[in-house]
Amino acid sequence: MEEKSRGEILKEKLFNIKENGWKSKNQEEKTTIFEYAKGYIDYMNKSKTEREIVVNSKKIADSNRFKDINEFETLKPGDKVYYINRDKSMYLAVIGQDSIENGVNIIGAHADSPRLDLKPNPLYEDGEFAYFKTHYYGGIKKYQWTTIPLAIHGVIVKSSGEKININIGESEDDPIFTITDLLPHLAQEQMEKKLKDGVSGEDLNLLIGSIPYDADVSEKVKLNILNILNEKYGITEVDFLSSEIELVPAMKCRSMGLDNSMVAGYGQDDKICVYAELTALVDMRETPRRTAVCIISDKEEIGSMGNTGMESHVFDTFMSEILNKLGVNKPNLLDKVFCNSKMLSADVDAGVDPIYAHVSEKNNASYLGRGIGLNKYTGARGKSGASDANAEFVAEIRNIFETNDIRYQIAELGKVDVGGGGTIAYILANKGIDVIDCGVPVLSMHSPYEVTSKFDLYEAYRGYKAFWEK
C-alpha cells in the first residue's frame, strides 16, 4: 500500500470530506439497515394519511408500554405518555431524570403530505361519467397527478356523529381511480402552455363511475354511484359536507434499485422522519437524562395552521399537563422550560438530483447516501421565514453526531435565488427553544412517488436516538 503524501494527510485533517456513507458500512451493518427499512416500508403502506399515521403510531407506542397521559394522576422519571389531538396529531414523552425546569429535548416531524382532497360537494355527472371534484393540498405539480392510480382514504362523519372510515384502492380486490389527461394527438394547445398551467386545479377531477342507474331519472350515473355508496356505507350526498376524504397514490411503497439501496413511495415528506423519530423514542432502553418529547404534527404543508397544526397551543397544553402531573407547575414555568429546551425539527430536505443539479449549490446541498441533513436555516432567498439556529447549538449537535459516529451533512434547500421552503422549526424557535432542521434528503419531493436512501433513513434514526440519549 502506498503511503499517503504530506498533502493528502493535511487535506484529510483540514478538509470537510464528503463521501458516500455506504462505503463505511460492512455487510452486517448493511443488513441491519435493510432490515430497519423493511419496518419503515410496512409502516408506510399502512399510513398514507395523517389519521392513519396516528393510528399506527399509537399501536407502536402501546406495544412499547406508552399510555395516554390522562391515565396518569402523577408522573415520575421513566413514565411513557402520549396525547392524541383530534386523531391527526400526536405528542409523546418519556419523563427524564433531570428536573424538567432545566428543559427537555424535542424532536418534531409532520404527518401530512401533499395530496388531493375532495371538495365539500364533490360528486357530479358529466358526459355519462361520474366524477369527484378535488382541491389540492400543499405544494404539488398538478400534471403529476393525472393518469396515475389513486386510492380514496378518509372519514365521513354523519350528523348523528357516526364515523365511517373509507379506504378504497389499496387492496388488490379494490377498484382504483384516476384523473384523465388529453392524448398527445389532440393536445397541441395544452402543450403550448407553461408546465404549471398544463392542467388546471379545477380539471383535477377523479373519474369514479360510468354505469347509469336503471330508472327514468336525470343524472343516472351519479345516482348509481350514490346508491352504491349508500348500500355500502349508509351515506347520502349531504354526508360529504362533514367528511375528510383524501386522494393518494394507490402505489405501494417499495425498495428501489438493483442494489435495494433506496425507498420509493408516496408521502415520505415527512413520514420518513415520523417513523425515524418514533422508533428512536420507543427503542430507548434507559430513562433519559432530560425528558424526551416527540411531536407528530399536522398541517405543515399548508402553514401549520389550525388546531392540529403546530401553530395551535395544543402542544403547550400537553407540556403543561406534564408539568402539572410532575407537581412542579407554577406561573411562567412553561416559558422557562421552553427557553431551556433543545429541538431537532425533523423534516426532509431536497437531495441533489444530478439531472436537475442546476437548482442546487453543490457545496451546500444534501446528497442521498451521505447521512442526515442539517439545515442551519431554511426560508427563502434572504433567509425569509428562517429561524437560523445559533452556532453554539449547531456545534452541540455536531458533537453528538460525531461522538456517536453518525453521518451527517450540512444542507440548504436550493440556490439562494431559486426558491426555498420552511418547516415547523420557526414556530418552536418563537417559544425560545434552540432548534435546527435535521432530516432526510429526498428526490422528487412533493411528487406522488418520492425517493429516499435507506442509509439516510437509518442514520436519522440513530441521530435522533443519540440526541435523546445524550
DSSP code string of 356-374? GGGGS-GGGSB-TTS-EEE
pTM: 0.95
- Looking at the predicted structure, is the pLDDT value of residue 414 above 90? no
Which CATH number does 115-249 carry? 2.30.250.10
- pLDDT bucket at 384, cuts 50 / 70 / 90: confident
CA distance 404 to 395: 14
Give ranges for CATH 2.30.250.10 in the chain: 115-249
pLDDT in tens, 152-161: 999 999 999 9
Answer whether residue 385 shows pLDDT above 90.
no
Rounded to a whole number of angstroms, the CA Rg of the chain reads: 24
Q: Are 177 and 150 in contact (CB under 8 A)?
A: yes
pLDDT value, residue 217: 93
pLDDT of residue 416: 87
Residue 149, pLDDT above cutoff 90: yes
- Given a cut of 70, whether residue 248 has pLDDT beyond it is yes
Rounded Cα distance, 407 and 405, in Å: 6
Mean pLDDT value of segment 49-69: 98
Cell output for 158: 354523519
Q: Grid cell 350514490 — which residue?
A: 226
At residue 3, the pLDDT reads 77
80-93 pLDDT tens trace: 999 999 999 999 99
Give the DSSP per-residue string, 153-176.
EEEEE-TTS-EEEEEESSSTTS--
Neighbour tally for 372: CB within 10 Å: 32
Residue 1, pLDDT above cutoff 80? no
When pLDDT is averaged across residues 422-426 and rounded to a whole number, the result is 91
Q: Which CATH number fits domain 16-113+266-469: 3.40.570.10, 3.40.50.10470, 3.30.360.10, 3.40.630.10?
A: 3.40.630.10
**pLDDT tens-digit readout, 22-36:** 999 999 999 999 999
Q: Could you give phi then psi for residue 393, rounded to 5 degrees?
A: -70, -40
Query: According to CATH, where is 3.40.630.10 located in the chain?
Result: 16-113+266-469
Is pLDDT at 180 greater than 70 in this prediction? yes
In this predicted structure, the answer to whether residue 403 has a pLDDT above a threshold of 80 is yes
Mean pLDDT along residues 426-443: 96
Share of the chain above pLDDT 70, in %: 100
Question: How many percent of the chain have pLDDT more than 90?
Answer: 89
**Alpha carbon distances (Å) from 126 to 131, 136, 178:** 8, 21, 16
User: Measured between alpha carbons, how far is 132 from 182 in angstroms, rounded to an integer?
Assistant: 18
Is the pLDDT reported for residue 202 higher than 60? Answer: yes
Residue 105 near residue 290 (C-beta atoms within 8 A): yes
Average pLDDT over all residues of the chain:
95
Whole-angstrom Cα distance, residue 63 to residue 72? 18
* pLDDT exceeds 70 at position 70: yes
Helix (H, G, I), strand (E, B) or coil at 209: strand
Per-residue pLDDT band for 2 (boundaries 50, 70, 90) equals low
Mutual orientation of helices 27-45 and 454-469 as an angle, nearest 10°? 90
**Number of neighbours of residue 458 by Cβ within 10 angstroms:** 27
Helix, strand, coil shares of the chain, percent, nearest 5, are 35, 25, 40
Please answer whether residues 146 and 180 qualify as being in contact, where contact means their C-beta atoms are separated by less than 8 angstroms: yes
What's phi and psi for 350, nearest 5 deg? -75, 110
Q: How far apart are CA 423 and CA 413, in angstroms?
A: 11
Position 246 scores a pLDDT of 98
pLDDT at residue 418 greater than cutoff 90: no
